[in-house]
Amino acid sequence: MAWHAVLGKLLAKISPKINLDVKNPIIINKLNVHITNIDNNQDVNYDPEKNTCNINLKNLEQNLKKEILSLDLLEEERILLQDKCKDTIEEFRSQEKLAETQERLRFLDKKIPLEDLNIWRAALYLRHCYTTKGLKQKVGAIKYQIMQKFGDKGRNIANLCTAGYLEEWLMPAYEKLKETLADEDLAKLEFGKIYSNLVNQLPFTIFVSHVMSRDELKKEILRRKEFGIAFVNIHAIGDINVLKVKAVTVEIEKEREHCDEVKKHHIFVRIYFKDTGETKQTANPCETPR
């Protein structure tokens, strides 16, 4: 029996109470179906407002349960998906349809390795959750999943994206290269090198995490100085991390041997190194990242 017919048979049990032609496959196929397994006294009900048929496996007869959860369910391109995952896909799709997301993805396409594109797509969705009321609770889990799947590079891209480096550093850097080199292929090649260095090494950026100690933070700052760059941006979110940055920057400022200046911006700190080959001007291709 086709799956819509099984569903129709199930709904026939309540059809006298609902206004639904349970024998019409077109109507049955248009129904939303949601499956639960909870303690109540219903096996099936129909919500006309949401055009949804709710099936409770707990109270379903064994043979009907077998027919509902059969391979036929997966025919005709049907997919069985947990409700919260469907919500995530719908949110992801609507976020990806936004003009600004499209513009970012068009920029990244063919300029970065193909395998990095999905990391950026996930990172852009992460940032969307971070800035959208009602989705913030997803941020921790999504960031963990990106890190788990893509390791340090995933963590770096997630952090860079959230801090605005795509729009405020990578995109302007590419435009500058295009302008300077006057050759798009060459600009793409050079951009690829800068991009790779940025996402793999974070040469002028440190994202302070809760597991990073003060000593580790100081070591990371001084390691950046060895790169010969003019400054390092330090980003920290949360009271404990902000206090950590404050303590270490005070220490470095007091020592006077490493840095010229510490600029404390709204949510990040920039340390200008002493005696590096670069000047503030040339080593400062981006303005103030978020």
Q: Enumerate binding residues for other proteins (CB under 8 A).
A: 29, 32-38, 57, 65-66, 69-71, 73-86, 88-89, 92-93, 118-119, 121-122, 125-126, 142, 145-146, 148-150
Tokens of 43: 């096996």
Per DSSP bridges, beta strands 231-236 and 205-208 are: parallel
* Cβ(174)–Cβ(111) below 8 Å: yes
Closest to other proteins by CB, 85 vs 99, is 85
* Cβ(251)–Cβ(217) below 8 Å: no
**Shortest Å, Cβ 132 to other proteins:** 15
* Cβ(203)–Cβ(226) below 8 Å: no
**Shortest Å, Cβ 151 to other proteins:** 13
Closest to other proteins by CB, 53 vs 248, is 53
Amino acid residing at 277: G
**Shortest Å, Cβ 2 to other proteins:** 13
**Shortest Å, Cβ 205 to other proteins:** 23
**What are the angstrom distances between the C-alpha of 147 and each of 25, 88, 142, 150?**
45, 18, 9, 5
Buried b (16+ CB within 10 A) or exposed e, 56-69: beeebeeebbebbe
Closest to other proteins by CB, 140 vs 228, is 140
Q: Is 286 left (phi over 0), alpha (psi -120 to 50) or beta?
A: beta
Closest to other proteins by CB, 41 vs 82, is 82
**Shortest Å, Cβ 125 to other proteins:** 7
Closest to other proteins by CB, 118 vs 180, is 118
CB count, 10 Å around CB of 23? 13
Closest to other proteins by CB, 55 vs 221, is 55
**Shortest Å, Cβ 96 to other proteins:** 8
Spatial CA neighbour of 55 closest among 14, 105, 97: 14
